[in-house]
């Protein structure tokens, strides 16, 4: 069944209060729910409560046993005479059989919940929709030995002993919330505790709950939480509102983390870190996700979503907020580069493929399939554009207005945009197309110069290709930051200006341009678009050395590299010299931040190069990229060696921006030393692997070895495996590094790893580390013959039986068939058809596969 945004109806019944009583046990948990229900208007419709597979073992209405209820599929329906009633239901659920990891489930011997989007109905009968806000009281009883810690949302109220070695605890959350924010945890956990004093002087008890043995790995997450709490007060004026804030880490989790009110539950990969097991990227991701979930307390919890079509209201905005937080912790330029890279790797392909959807979709079959890069990352770009258009003061005034006006309510994307308008006086009518239209706009930019009159004319045009269900697009509002530089002197010929391209075409004139101008456009990636310019490689080289906007400078280098690689693939030959020269200058520029330089000299990924082509030839892309890497490695051998040596003087491990930059440069340089084919490359890598006092250096060296031809990779993989055999998160890296290898034998290695005793589809992190990573390895996945496609389909079919959500997330690589030659496309479609023909297929996988086939 397809759910449509236009069909939204307010709830028939409200539930101001709910009391839940859990008799917890992994095999069978009894859940009693007492709902105070109120008829929302003068209608005669029955009360309908969502469930998922259960039948109530008991129903009471106003305290009396009630037999006049019926099941309409999974929905419990009760006719009620009046407008206010108290409904009590009891169900029995089975956490240890819950492999979907939605609702109440077991992980590592503990019990935990995940309710967003529609998991609460797997726990008890309730109107499972985000616009029904209730105050929750929760009582839990469980075996004291197995489950010494009992946590739920809000504040702890009371606890005590029960019979037979059991104990109980009561929690109450004073803030009305939708049921997707409900959480409880029962387990054998220890807390790393601290306090935070809010700006109005309230002391909050913080706790990060993990297995006792993992406590030493929680310092970074705890510090990040405190930093994030202070940042949200300073930057958005948002203060925390309960007396306690708990985070629990679990090993089995369908995604990153969850912002349950006062009780965030995290995938342990976004909490646990120490230098020996976590890379710098892991440290950064932990801080970002801790901040993200914390920021949801206002953007998501205090102000929630009216319906799931509004998901980007909380996710796009919260990603924008966490990006701002991370940018303030280190290099803002590098953070922007990383965020754009993520957008291009995950969202642009989505927007160009069969699963394209606007950031506010019009329909869905399964909402879990819409927790996408479009909703999250493009959603964040849309908020960023409004922030750019409004300017910082108006934007802050507008977010204040939004939080103030919608506090305690379930709002819409349009409510948010209206606040931006009220707060700034700017009309965003046309801007709203960003919410309704899918697809990435392409902007062509051509700059003419008339030396005689000193006039330069920039001709801009935008167009957006059709996406499924949207053949024609209205022009978007594109805030484009522009600047001109003199091609001879290098001087700035204009100030940076913000140009709003809101029509299909526009000309901009610049006067007094006395020398040949070079265009710097979409500076800071001010709009999430694809720029098509006719800039020569000389101009791109110039910008890569002189542009004063770091993102634009990075971008010029990327464009130069892309142009070179696309030429190599399509024409069969390319001049590597401009890229080599530009990279040389970047490495030699003493004024340049090392963190930035390390990112700027990296080639675009295989798949991003593939995305530029009419038809992807994965082997040709791989060969072109390897050839350019080899030339860069060889021609700049001395520079890579000295960059490597300089970066190696960092001393013992510290997590600081400067030390991170050094480690990053070291692994980038090592990659180029290996790419050059230098005889000693494997020795250098192996030495680094053995000497490393941190995971960044160790994994960087391992990656280099695993991509190379030397047998040292076997030794390194064994050492790594044995050293970390008890550490699931590090073993995930072991699987993932091999699944991402560019070696010829990767498909075979991956097939073997799928039979490794440590491989399991039941754990989402492990499934993603092998099956997910392989699917995005363009060369390996698309190797001729279709073995990769068969491998992915086999595993999706198997995983679907356990965990449909996680299976559906891994399907999109098969949906890229239109981008490949007929032989590959036929094989890919055959696998999609095989998936669709599987008996008992989930709604999740059905939606993804059927749309990917037809879209």
Q: Which residues are catalytic?
A: 293
- Does the protein bind ligand ARG through residue 543 (CB under 6 A)? no
- Return d(Cα 666, Cα 482) in angstroms, integer: 34
Residue 599 contact partner, candidates Zn ion, ligand ARG, none, CB within 5 to 8 A by sort of partner: none
For the CB of residue 319, give the shortest distance to ligand ARG in the complex, in Å.
8
Restricting to residues 273-292, name those near ligand ARG by CB under 6 A: 292
CA–CA dist 657, 666 (Å, integer):
14
293 binds ligand ARG (CB under 6 A): yes
Site string for ligand ARG, 411-450 (x = CB under 6 A): ----------------------------------------
Please, which residue, 116 or 539, has the CB nearer to ligand ARG? 116
499 scored as a contact of ligand ARG (CB under 6 A): no
| DSSP sequence for 369-405 | GG-SHIIIIIHHHHHHHHHHHH-HHHHHHHHHHHHHH
Residues 47-86 that bind ligand ARG (CB under 6 A): none
b/e string for 672-707 if b means 16 or more Cβ within 10 A? bbbbbebeebbebbbebbeebebbbbbbbbbbbbbb
416 binds, among ligand ARG, Zn ion, none (CB under 5 to 8 A by kind): none
> Considering only residues 255, 422, 721, 759, which one is a binding residue for ligand ARG as defined by CB under 6 A?
255
Evaluate whether 594 touches 654 at the Cβ level (below 8 Å).
no
Contact between 259 and ligand ARG (CB under 6 A)? Answer: yes
CA 305: distance to chain centroid? 19
- 271 in contact with ligand ARG (CB under 6 A): no
State the minimum distance, in angstroms, from the CB of residue 301 to ligand ARG. 10
Using the rule CB under 6 A, is 258 a contact of ligand ARG? yes
Per the CB < 8 A criterion, the answer to whether 254 and 273 are in contact is no
- Give the CA distances from residue 95 to residues 114, 249, 324, 401, 590, in Å, rounded to whole numbers and listed in that order: 12, 18, 38, 42, 58
52 binds, among ligand ARG, Zn ion, none (CB under 5 to 8 A by kind): none
Minimum distance of ligand ARG from residue 259's CB (angstroms): 5
Q: Considering only 62-70, 255-263, 506-514, 573-581, which stretch makes contact with ligand ARG by CB under 6 A? A: 255-263
Stretch that binds ligand ARG, among 5-13, 73-81, 257-265, 440-448 (CB under 6 A): 257-265
Q: Which of 54, 279, 368, 437 binds ligand ARG (CB under 6 A)?
A: 368
Question: Residues 169, 257, 519, 628: which binds ligand ARG (CB under 6 A)?
Answer: 257
Q: Under rule CB under 5 A, which residues in 302-321 are in contact with Zn ion?
A: 315, 318
Pick the closer one to ligand ARG by CB: 368 or 558. 368
Residue nearest to ligand ARG (CB): 371
Cβ(304)–Cβ(317) under 8 Å? Answer: no
Q: What is the smallest separation between the CB atom of 302 and Zn ion, expressed in angstroms?
A: 14
Task: Using the minimum distance from each CB to ligand ARG, give the nearer residue, 137 or 347.
Answer: 347
Q: Find the shortest distance in angstroms from Cβ 266 to Zn ion.
A: 12
Closest CA to 386 of 296, 321, 479, 499: 479
The answer to whether the beta carbons of residues 266 and 243 sit under 8 Å apart is no
Q: Which is nearer to Zn ion, 318 or 398 (CB)?
A: 318
Total of chain residues touching Zn ion, rule CB under 5 A: 2
Q: What are the residues facing 520 on neighbouring strands?
A: 483
Residue spans of beta strands (DSSP E) within 46-114: 47-49, 58-61, 64-65, 69-72, 75-78, 84-93, 103-107, 110-114
Q: Which of residues 98-127 bind ligand ARG (CB under 6 A)?
A: 116-117
Smallest separation, CB 260 to Zn ion (Å): 12
> Closer CB to ligand ARG, residue 186 or residue 258?
258
Q: How many CB atoms lie within 10 A of CB 367?
A: 17
Cβ distance to ligand ARG smaller for residue 100 or 688: 100
**In angstroms, what is the minimal distance from the CB of 263 to Zn ion?**
15
Residue 300 vs 633, nearer CB to ligand ARG: 300
Torsion of CA 824, 827, 830, 835, to 10 degrees: -90
What tokens does 774 get?
């392989």
Q: How far is the CB of 180 from ligand ARG (least distance, A)?
A: 8
If the CB atoms of residues 173 and 315 are measured against Zn ion, the closer one turns out to be 315
Which residue's CB is nearer to Zn ion, number 317 or number 608? Answer: 317
164: CB partners within 8 A, 6+ apart:
none
* Residues in contact with ligand ARG, shown as a per-residue x/- string from 201 to 240 under the rule CB under 6 A: ----------------------------------------
Q: Does residue 371 touch ligand ARG according to CB under 6 A?
A: yes
Q: Per-residue DSSP letters for 800-842?
A: HHH-HHHHHHT-GGGGGGGGS-HHHHHHHHHHHHHHHTSTT--
Note the helical H segments in 81-125. none
**Residue 767 or 783 with smaller CB distance to ligand ARG:** 767
CB 192 within 8 A of CB 218: yes
Length of the chain as a residue count: 855
| Whether 20 contacts 124, CB under 8 Å | yes
Q: Which of ligand ARG, Zn ion, none has residue 371 at its interface (CB below 5 to 8 Å by kind)?
A: ligand ARG
Q: Which does 410 bind (CB under 5 to 8 A by kind): ligand ARG, Zn ion, none?
A: none
Q: Answer whether 666's CB lies under 8 Å from 684's CB.
A: no
- Integer Cα distance of 49 and 322 in angstroms: 35
Q: Which is nearer to Zn ion, 264 or 318 (CB)?
A: 318
Rounded to an integer, what distance in angstroms lies between the CA atom of residue 589 and that of residue 547? 13
Q: How far is the CB of 255 from ligand ARG (least distance, A)?
A: 5
Short-list 525, 524, 535, 668, CA closest to 594? 668
**Residue for token pair 């010929």:** 493
Nearer to ligand ARG, 101 or 685 (CB): 101
Q: Tell me how far apart the alpha carbons of residues 168 and 735 are, in angstroms, rounded to a whole number.
A: 41
CB of 318 to ligand ARG, least distance (A): 7
CA distance 299 to 314: 5
Stretch that binds ligand ARG, among 64-72, 148-156, 251-259, 377-385 (CB under 6 A): 251-259
C-alpha 63/C-alpha 86 separation (Å) is 7
For the bound state, the minimum distance from the C-beta of residue 315 to Zn ion, rounded and expressed in Å, comes to 5
Cα 838 from Cα 76, distance rounded (Å): 30
Shortest Å, Cβ 103 to ligand ARG: 12
**Which residues lie closer than 8 Å to 373 by C-beta, 6 or more apart?**
342, 343, 346, 347, 350
Q: Is residue 844 at the binding interface for ligand ARG, with CB under 6 A as the rule?
A: no
- When CB distances are held under 5 to 8 angstroms depending on the partner's kind, the choice from Zn ion, ligand ARG, none that residue 116 binds is ligand ARG
Asked if 252 is part of the footprint of ligand ARG (rule: CB under 6 A), the reply reads no
> From residue 222, how far is each of 197, 490, 693 by CA, in Å?
14, 47, 23
**Strand 58-61 to 166-177 pairing:** unpaired
Shorter beta-carbon distance to Zn ion: residue 301 or 318: 318
| Min dist. Cβ of residue 299 to Zn ion (A) | 9
* Alpha-carbon gap, residue 349 to 371, rounded angstroms: 15
Judged by CB under 6 A, which stretch of 49-57, 68-76, 250-258, 468-476 contacts ligand ARG? 250-258
Question: What is d(CA 511, CA 237) in angstroms, rounded to the nearest whole number?
Answer: 43
Binding mask 309-348 for ligand ARG (x = CB under 6 A): ------x---------------------------------
Per CB under 5 A, residues contacting Zn ion are: 315, 318
Per CB under 6 A, residues contacting ligand ARG are: 116-117, 255, 257-259, 292-293, 315, 368, 371
């Amino acid at each position: 069944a397809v759910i449509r945004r236009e069909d939204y109806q307010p709830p028939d019944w409200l539930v101001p209060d709910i009391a839940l009583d859990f008799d917890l046990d992994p095999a069978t948990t009894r859940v009693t729910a007492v709902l105070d229900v109120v008829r929302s208007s003068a209608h005669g419709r029955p009360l309908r409560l969502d469930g998922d597979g259960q039948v109530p073992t008991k129903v009471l209405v106003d305290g009396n046993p009630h037999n006049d209820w019926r099941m309409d599929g999974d929905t419990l329906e009760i006719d009620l005479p009046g407008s206010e009633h108290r409904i009590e239901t009891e169900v029995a659920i089975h956490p240890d059989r819950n492999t979907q990891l939605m609702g109440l489930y077991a992980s590592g011997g503990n019990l935990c919940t995940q309710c967003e989007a529609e998991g609460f109905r797997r726990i008890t009968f309730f109107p499972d929709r985000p616009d029904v806000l209730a105050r929750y009281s929760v009582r839990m009883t469980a075996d004291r030995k197995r489950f010494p810690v009992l946590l739920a949302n809000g504040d702890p109220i009371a606890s005590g002993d029960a019979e037979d070695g059991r104990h109980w605890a009561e929690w109450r959350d004073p803030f009305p919330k939708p049921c997707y924010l409900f959480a409880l945890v029962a387990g054998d956990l220890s807390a790393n505790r601290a306090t935070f004093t809010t700006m109005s002087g309230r002391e909050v008890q913080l706790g990060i709950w993990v297995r006792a043995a993992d406590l030493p790995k929680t310092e970074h997450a705890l510090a990040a939480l405190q930093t994030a709490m202070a940042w949200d007060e300073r930057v958005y004026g948002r203060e925390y509102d309960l007396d306690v804030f708990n985070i629990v880490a679990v090993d089995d989790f369908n995604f990153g983390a969850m912002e349950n009110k006062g009780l965030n539950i995290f995938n342990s990969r976004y909490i646990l870190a120490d230098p020996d097991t976590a890379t710098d990227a892991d440290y950064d991701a932990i801080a970002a996700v801790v901040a993200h979930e914390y920021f949801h307390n206002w953007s998501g919890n205090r102000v929630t979503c009216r319906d799931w079509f509004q998901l980007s209201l909380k996710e796009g905005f919260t990603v924008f907020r966490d990006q701002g937080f991370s940018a303030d912790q280190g290099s803002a330029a590098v953070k922007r580069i990383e965020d754009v890279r993520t957008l291009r790797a995950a969202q642009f392909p989505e927007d160009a493929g069969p699963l394209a959807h606007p950031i506010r979709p019009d329909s869905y079959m399964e909402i879990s399939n819409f927790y996408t890069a479009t909703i999250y990352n493009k959603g964040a770009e849309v908020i960023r554009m409004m922030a750019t258009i409004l300017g910082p003061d108006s934007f802050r005034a507008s977010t204040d207005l939004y939080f103030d006006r919608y506090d305690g309510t379930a709002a819409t994307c349009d409510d948010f945009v209206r606040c931006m308008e009220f707060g700034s006086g700017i009309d965003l009518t046309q801007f709203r197309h960003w919410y309704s239209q899918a697809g990435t706009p392409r902007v062509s930019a051509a700059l003419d110069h008339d030396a005689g009159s000193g006039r330069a004319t920039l001709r801009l045009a935008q167009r957006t290709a059709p996406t499924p269900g949207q053949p024609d697009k209205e022009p978007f509002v594109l805030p484009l930051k522009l600047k001109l530089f003199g091609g001879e002197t290098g001087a700035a010929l204009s100030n940076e200006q913000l140009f709003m391209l809101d029509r299909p075409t526009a000309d901009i004139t610049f006067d007094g341009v006395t020398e040949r101008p070079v265009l710097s456009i979409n500076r800071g990636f001010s709009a999430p678009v694809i720029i098509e310019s006719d800039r020569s490689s000389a101009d791109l080289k110039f910008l890569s050395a002189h542009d004063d906007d770091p993102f634009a400078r990075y971008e010029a280098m990327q464009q130069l590299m892309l142009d070179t690689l696309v030429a190599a693939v399509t024409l069969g030959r390319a001049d590597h010299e401009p890229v080599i020269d530009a990279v040389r200058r970047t490495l030699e520029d003493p004024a340049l931040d090392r963190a930035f330089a390390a990112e700027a000299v990296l080639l675009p990924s295989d798949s991003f190069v593939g995305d530029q082509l009419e038809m992807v030839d994965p082997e040709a892309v791989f060969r072109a990229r390897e050839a350019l890497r080899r030339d860069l490695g060889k021609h700049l051998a001395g520079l890579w060696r000295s960059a490597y040596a300089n970066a190696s003087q960092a001393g013992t491990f510290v997590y600081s921006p400067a030390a991170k930059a050094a480690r990053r440069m070291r692994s980038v340089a090592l990659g180029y030393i290996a790419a050059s084919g230098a005889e000693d490359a494997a020795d250098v890598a192996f030495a680094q692997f053995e000497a490393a006092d941190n995971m960044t250096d160790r994994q960087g060296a391992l990656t280099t070895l695993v991509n190379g031809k030397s047998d040292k990779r076997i030794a390194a993989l064994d050492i790594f495996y044995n050293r970390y055999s008890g550490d699931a998160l590090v073993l995930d890296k072991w699987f993932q590094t091999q699944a991402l290898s560019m070696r010829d034998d990767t498909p075979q290695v991956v097939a073997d790893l799928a039979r490794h005793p440590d491989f399991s589809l039941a754990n989402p992190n492990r499934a993603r580390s092998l099956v997910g990573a392989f699917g995005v390895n363009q060369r390996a996945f698309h190797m001729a013959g279709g073995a990769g496609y068969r491998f992915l389909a086999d595993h999706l079919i198997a995983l679907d039986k356990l965990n449909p959500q996680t299976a559906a997330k891994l399907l999109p690589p098969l949906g890229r068939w239109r981008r490949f030659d007929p032989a590959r496309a036929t094989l890919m479609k055959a696998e999609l058809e095989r998936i669709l023909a599987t008996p008992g297929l989930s709604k999740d996988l059905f939606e993804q596969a059927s749309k990917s086939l037809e879209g």
